[in-house]
A = this chain, B = another copy of it.
Amino acid sequence: MRILILGGDGYLGWPQSLYLSSKGHDVTIFDNLSRRHFDLERGFNSLIPIQTLHERVSVWNEVSGRQIQVCIGDTMDYEALASVFRDVLPEAVIHFAEQRSAPFSMIDRKHAVFTQTNNVVGTLNVLYAIKEFAPDCHLVKLGTMGEYGTPNIDIEEGFIEIHHKGRSDILPYPKQPGSFYHLSKTHDSHNITFCCKIWGLRATDLNQGVVYGVETGETTQDARLATRFDYDQIYGTALNRFCAQAAVGYPLSVYGKGQQIRGYINLLDTIRCIELAIASPPREGEYRVFNQITEQFSLIELAEMVVRHSQRFGLEAEVKYLPNPRVEAEQHYYNAAHTRLIELGLEPHLLNGSVLEALIRLAINYRDQIDRNLIVPTVNWRMTKNEITQADNSRSSINFSRE
């Protein structure tokens, strides 16, 4: 299948591109390298060293004999997007090309505006490009479970049947997103729904949980195929941060009461989910939503798991509760449906001891590169202007020299 992967150079986009290429699909990556640009600007870096996109693709060709096409471009640039659509005539488009950090979107007004403009307009451009150049193409869009917030009823997959005053209807599930980033994904969902309705587009919106893990069957074939591992306050997930903190003997920072429950998924399952979605496309005009998670945990459960498994490495991690920089319910009901991908054939890889230990081992291997300054949360949802810590200069120059 001809597959266009927007944002194919990112944490998820890259292993997804490799996986689909390994399955014989004809993969083209379209990426503006913005994630790398942010690192360069701030002195951040992936804890695992990663290669440039061109190098990665050439290593993959060496290792597998397969060719991934690369096009450097921005979804905000419609001419560039139209041109890659005309060249590729994709049968499926996987859209990872969004600013994907909640804290980034909460830094200040400019970051909020950038996030919403980039994500909403980028996705509008993708929708127009599909309609104009590949109207039968299946859009697979990465959404987030964070669109739902934490309602006091079960979370369903995109839609809910509501009985009200003697009548009923199946309506879009109400959204209560918790950052300007999560809001941008909610806006996208509404825009995509509408374009399926008016233009007959086919779309799968994958409301993904927090992804963990870095290794796939493809990335492990050569160290130069590795995908990124972020532990900083802007791009690092809580789990990655906990592993990094455990590795350097720093208390595990739990925000607020730690009873915040979220859905999680292994990277291996994420890439498989997208393959499953592509293999069974929606019908013309259909907008469907899958909740792309396999388990749910509270923050404190995760922290305690990391404490427990760190002991295997002789580490004595401890948990420290920080005032919550976010505005969110810290104790709430949470039960999110996630059966549709299972029905399509997903066999989940759960967050067990060996997965956790692999992550902790990784953090230990690279512990000299961990910059403690980058973990401290400085982006407070209650403020309109926040400073982000810069990487310690000497460290960031070491990091730079590795690329």
Contact = CB atoms under 8 A, between A and B. Distances in A.
Interface of A: 78, 109, 112-113, 116-117, 120-121, 124-125, 128, 131-132, 151-154, 160, 162-165, 167-169, 171-180, 183, 186-187, 190-191, 193-194, 197-199, 327, 333, 381-382, 384
- 8 pairs of A and B residues whose beta carbons are closest in the complex: A152-B169, A171-B174, A153-B164, A187-B187, A198-B327, A109-B128, A153-B167, A172-B174
A172 B171 contact: no
Given A162-B153, A190-B187, A327-B198, A174 B174 contact: yes
A121 B117 contact: yes
Contact of A333 (B131, B167, B197): B167
Given A78-B109, A113-B121, A116-B121, A152 B168 contact: yes
Given A125-B109, A160-B164, A384-B128, A175 B190 contact: yes
Nearest to A165: B154
A382 B194 CA distance: 11
Given A124-B109, A168-B153, A197-B327, A132 B174 contact: no
Given A172-B176, A198-B382, 5 more contacts: A151-B171, A152-B167, A162-B174, A176-B193, A178-B194
Contacts of A117: 117, 120-121
Contacts of A168: 152-153
A198 B381 contact: yes
Nearest to A200: B382
Contacts of A121: 113, 116-117
22 contacts: A116-B120, A116-B121, A116-B124, A116-B187, A117-B120, A117-B121, A120-B187, A124-B180, A128-B384, A132-B384, A151-B169, A153-B165, A153-B168, A153-B169, A154-B165, A154-B167, A162-B174, A172-B174, A172-B175, A173-B174, A183-B187, A197-B327
Nearest to A151: B169
Contact of A171 (B132, B176, B327, B381): B176
A193 B168 CA distance: 26
Contact of A124 (B112, B132, B169, B177): B112
Nearest to A132: B384
Contacts of A165: 153-154
A176 B174 CA distance: 11
A41 to B, nearest CB: 22
A160 B131 CA distance: 35
A379 to B, nearest CB: 12
Contacts of A179: 194
A197 B180 CA distance: 12
A381 B199 CA distance: 8
A327 to B, nearest CB: 4
Between A117, A191, A194, A327, the greatest number of chain B beta carbons within 10 A of the residue's beta carbon is seen for A194
A156 to B, nearest CB: 8
A183 B172 contact: no
A164 to B, nearest CB: 4
